[in-house]
Structure 1
Amino acid sequence: MARTMEWAARAKHLGGIPRKLVIAAVGAFAKTASSLVNTTSVHNADTLLRLLRSRPHRVPLITVSNHMSTLDDPLMWGFKGSPIFDAKLARWVLAAEDICFKNSLYSYIFRLGKCIPITRGGGIYQNHMNEALERLSDGEWLHTFPEGKVYQEDVPIRRLKWGTASLVARAPITPIVLPIVHHGFDKVMPLKYMFGRPPPLPLCNKKIDIVIGDPIEFDLPAMREKAIHRSRSESFSTIGWPTTSDGLDEAAQRFLYAEISEQIRAAMERLRCSGKSFLNS
Structure 2
Amino acid sequence: MGRKMEWAAREKHMGGIPRKIVFLAVGSVAKAVTSLLNTSSIHNADTLIRLVRSRPPGIPLLTVSNHMSTLDDPLLWGFKGFPSLDAKLARWVLAAEDICFKNFLLTYFFRLGKCIPITRGAGIYQEHMNEALECLNNGAWLHTFPEGKVSQEDAPIRRLKWGTASLIVRAHVTPIVLPIVHCGFEEVMPEKFFLDRRPPFPLCNKNIKIIIGEPLEFDIPRMRQTAISISRDLSCTYRGWPIISPYGLDEAAQRCLYSTISEQIQTAMEGLRNAGKSFLK
- TM-score, normalised to structure 2, is 0.98
Shift of 1:120: 0.6
Shift of 1:41: 1.2
Decide whether the 8 Å contact of 2:156 with 2:270 is kept in 1.
Answer: yes
* Partners of 2:43 and 2:25 in 1: CA distance: 26
* Partners of 1:191 and 1:116 in 2: CA distance: 23
- Residue identity over aligned pairs, in percent, reads 71
Partner of 1:101: 101
* AA in 2 matched with 1:138: N
Secondary structure in structure 1 of the residue aligned to 2:277: helix
Partner of 1:272: 273
Report 1:36-185 matches (<5 A): 36-185=36-185
Shift of 1:173: 0.4
Shift of 1:40: 1.0
Deviations 1:119-153 (A, max 9, x none): 01111100000000111011000000000000000
* Partners of 1:147 and 1:234 in 2: CA distance: 25
Shift of 1:100: 0.2
Secondary structure in structure 2 of the residue aligned to 1:2: coil
* Partners of 2:272 and 2:36 in 1: CA distance: 26
Shift of 1:220: 1.3
Shift of 1:223: 1.2
* Partners of 1:239 and 1:224 in 2: CA distance: 20
Decide whether the 8 Å contact of 2:41 with 2:280 is kept in 1.
Answer: no
Paired residues, number:
280
* Partners of 2:220 and 2:137 in 1: CA distance: 17
Partner of 1:200: 200
Partner of 1:215: 215
* Partners of 1:78 and 1:57 in 2: CA distance: 25
* Partners of 1:206 and 1:259 in 2: CA distance: 36
| Higher mean C-alpha displacement, 218-227 vs 85-94 | 218-227
Shift of 1:279: 2.4
Secondary structure in structure 1 of the residue aligned to 2:167: helix
* Partners of 1:209 and 1:235 in 2: CA distance: 43
Deviations 1:59-111 (A, max 9, x none): 00000000000000000100111110101000000000000001110000000
- TM-score, normalised to structure 1, is 0.98
* Partners of 2:177 and 2:236 in 1: CA distance: 30
* Partners of 1:274 and 1:31 in 2: CA distance: 26
* AA in 1 matched with 2:248: G
Secondary structure in structure 1 of the residue aligned to 2:3: helix
Report 1:197-276 matches (<5 A): 197-245=197-245, 246-276=247-277
* Structure 1 residue runs without a partner (length 5+): none
Secondary structure in structure 1 of the residue aligned to 2:123: coil
* AA in 2 matched with 1:77: W
